[in-house]
């Protein structure tokens, strides 16, 4: 499932789903735009994980959940808890994070 945040409610989504991966991005971020279709591809291939697109500038409370200080950042949550994050523009690194979530 792919969700695009429309309000600053990531905490609710994380609490409601077992495995969540978030792409934190911003409209000005070129690497974020490059990674977005790859993120969407992973969401289509992994239906047991909830994928969330979050604008890090619009949603500061959601950003705080993963201590985001660089973009793009991909964060993994499991059973309502923050597990880890990666700051990357490399597809292989994103796939590793998805693999961690799917084997959880």
Which positions are catalytic?
29, 32
Residue with tokens 């990531």: 10
Task: Please give the full DSSP string across 16-65, using - where no structure is assigned.
Answer: H-SEEEEEEE-TT-HHHHHHHHHHHHHHHH-TTSEEEEEETTT-HHHHHT
List the beta bridge partners of residue 50.
Answer: 20
């Amino acid at each position: 499932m792919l969700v695009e945040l429309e309000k600053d409610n990531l905490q609710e989504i994380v609490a409601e789903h077992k495995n969540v991966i978030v792409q934190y991005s911003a409209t000005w971020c070129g690497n974020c735009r490059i990674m977005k279709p790859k993120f969407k591809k992973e969401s289509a291939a992994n239906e047991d994980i909830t994928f969330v697109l979050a604008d890090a500038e619009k949603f500061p409370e959601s950003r705080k959940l993963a201590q985001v200080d660089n973009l793009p950042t991909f964060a993994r949550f499991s059973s309502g808890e923050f597990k880890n994050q990666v700051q990357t523009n490399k597809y292989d690194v994103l796939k590793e994070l998805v693999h961690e979530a799917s084997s959880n």
